[in-house]
């Protein structure tokens, strides 16, 4: 992360504050990270503002095989629609708890588990270390992981 150009503090007036982040002469993005403490509790928020993003020029060349790579990977992931995650929650109700987390909204949680690819399944047993399962797979693969790792049915 680049160092902050400016930093400071503001006082809310009638529950509102205005923070000026400036402008840019060249196309690009400005980044604003805010932290507020209210009644002893800390809150964080992060905003990016684009200035003429449609005019940003890439600084590297796209690899010649990227389109083929991208299309192949999209086709592979499309084989495994994740509609069955709710089915697994019903199937294993009372045995395990399944949470679905939006990593775009829960960035701290995503960072905690290094969610660099989605889907990411985190299996946390009652005893032992959590195990991460990255990438799309079919329902039977997830069922086997649940049975073997969480329910210890081998």
Q: 0.85 exceeded by the pTM? A: no
146 CB neighbour count, 10 Å cutoff: 20
Strand partners, 43: 36
Structure tokens at 122: 């985190």
Cα gap 87→73, rounded to integer Å: 25
Per-residue confidence of the chain (154 residues) as pLDDT tens digits? Answer: 667 778 888 888 888 888 888 888 999 998 888 888 888 998 888 888 999 999 999 889 999 999 999 999 888 878 877 777 788 888 888 888 877 777 778 888 888 877 777 777 887 777 777 788 877 788 888 899 888 888 888 6
Contacts 24+ apart (CB under 8 A), 66-74: none
């Amino acid at each position: 992360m680049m160092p902050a150009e400016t930093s400071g503090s503001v006082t809310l007036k009638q529950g509102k504050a205005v923070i000026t982040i400036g402008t840019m002469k060249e196309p690009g993005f400005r980044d604003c990270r805010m932290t507020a403490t209210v009644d002893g509790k800390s809150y964080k928020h992060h905003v990016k503002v684009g200035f003429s993003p449609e005019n940003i020029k890439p600084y590297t060349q796209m690899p010649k095989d990227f389109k083929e790579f991208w299309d192949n990977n999209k086709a592979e992931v499309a084989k495994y629609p994740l509609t069955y995650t709710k089915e697994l929650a019903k199937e294993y109700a009372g045995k395990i708890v399944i949470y679905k987390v939006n990593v775009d909204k829960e960035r701290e949680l995503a960072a905690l588990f290094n969610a660099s690819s989605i889907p990411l399944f985190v299996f946390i047993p009652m005893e032992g270390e959590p195990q991460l399962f990255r990438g799309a797979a079919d329902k039977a693969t997830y069922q086997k992981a649940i049975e073997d790792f969480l329910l210890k049915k081998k």
